[in-house]
Amino acid sequence: MTDAPVRYQPDIEDIQPDEQETIQQLCSTFDVILERTAEDYGHAVRSVHAKSHGVLVGELTVDADLPPELAQGLFATPGTHKALLRLSTNAGDVLPDAISLPRGLALKVFDVEGARLPGSEGSAQDFVMVNGTVFQAKTADKFLGNLKMLAKTTDRLEGTKKVLSSVLRGVSSALETVGIESAAINSLGGAPNVEPLGETYYSVTPFRYGDYIAKFSLAPVAPEMTALTGETIKVDGREDAIREDVQAEMRNFRAEWDFRVQLCRNLDKQPVEDPTVEWDEEEAPFLKVGTLRAAPQDSWDPAQVQQIDEETRFSVWTGIAAHQPLGNINRARNEPYRHSADFRARVNGCPYHEPAA
């Protein structure tokens, strides 16, 4: 039997005095990545998750008759919302797909009612997820060290990155055989080179869930998608293999994911301030609250992809106060996200804006 969910209180967060200094250093380090890639590509790209692999239009349906602890925030009212999805990998430069990196799925849900987070425009709720259950660093200052290393290698030594990726995938596979998953190794190119539509995605960090605290997840349920789970992409001679595979797959089947929440039930075992700790699903199970669907479509319409990549940003700080991002890493994401988007808008001469449904 699981414990009752922990109720949200503002004092669950432990704000450190040096956080603002770390945030400024994050922005400065992102500038190195942004400026280098903008010079090389002739236009600005995202400082992380720069390479798109597909953009999908879909719908999120909130389940009816949810129990009170699940009927919170966006999920308090049954109904269907239009949605936009972007599939990506996590590097700050646009790399050949032979360099295997964690997959990302950014989701923008439209027409969400409720008081907005500070500085959050429009009426959308964003969810930013990756195909791993933990973050690579406990705190933003630790992540800063990883980011500085990434900045030094951005758009350099592509051949070396391919070799390193192959070696690290072997290390990652060896660790997994003894039950260890390394987010740090995966982020450096050791992630399994798998089909993104077969992957389960996680918010990794916790959020306010109305009166409670939760992490979010999207799990594939369509048979065509679960058949892809763990399948390795053939990347030899194909720089954009992921894009090509997703495009071929989405022409032929309807994508469907369960949207799930994992309620915090014990702050010691499911900490808010340490996203390197995986919340045990036996003690804090994921529970379905909705369904995300995308009909067969062209996932690589060049005009649509360009519009999303250059005019739209996805941020955990875009949304309603009922889903406020929690913890040190989330607090450190707000200003750098906006900083990166402002840089792209300035260099590309194309201001970003919240799209309408």
Give the per-residue pLDDT at 251: 96
Q: Are 190 and 73 in contact (CB under 8 A)?
A: no
> Which CB contacts under 8 angstroms, 24+ apart, belong to 154-158?
154/32, 154/33, 154/36, 154/37, 154/91, 154/92, 154/93, 155/36, 155/37, 155/40, 155/93, 158/95, 158/96, 158/99
Domains of the chain by range and CATH? 19-345 (2.40.180.10)
What is the spatial distance between Cα 242 and Cα 227, in angstroms, rounded to a whole number?
Answer: 16
* pTM attached to this predicted model: 0.85
Q: pLDDT tens digit string along 155-168?
A: 544 443 343 333 33
Percent of the chain at pLDDT > 70 equals 79
In the chain, the amino acid numbered 86 is R
Asked if the model's pLDDT at residue 181 lies above 80, the reply is no
- 130 forms beta bridges with 104, 202
Q: Is 213 helix (H, G, I), strand (E, B) or coil?
A: strand
Q: pLDDT tens digit string along 111-138?
A: 999 999 999 989 999 999 999 999 888 9
Asked if the model's pLDDT at residue 52 lies above 80, the reply is yes
What is the spatial distance between Cα 45 and Cα 92, in angstroms, rounded to a whole number?
Answer: 8
Sequence-ordered list of residues with C-beta below 8 angstroms from that of 115, at least 6 positions apart, any chain: 320, 321, 322
What is the spatial distance between Cα 91 and Cα 159, in angstroms, rounded to a whole number?
Answer: 15
Q: pLDDT tens digit string along 251-292?
A: 999 999 999 999 999 999 999 999 999 999 999 999 999 999
Q: Are 309 and 320 in contact (CB under 8 A)?
A: no
Q: pLDDT tens digit string along 8-20?
A: 999 999 998 998 9
Asked if the model's pLDDT at residue 178 lies above 50, the reply is no
Give the per-residue pLDDT at 42: 61
Sequence-ordered list of residues with C-beta below 8 angstroms from that of 1, at least 6 positions apart, any chain: none
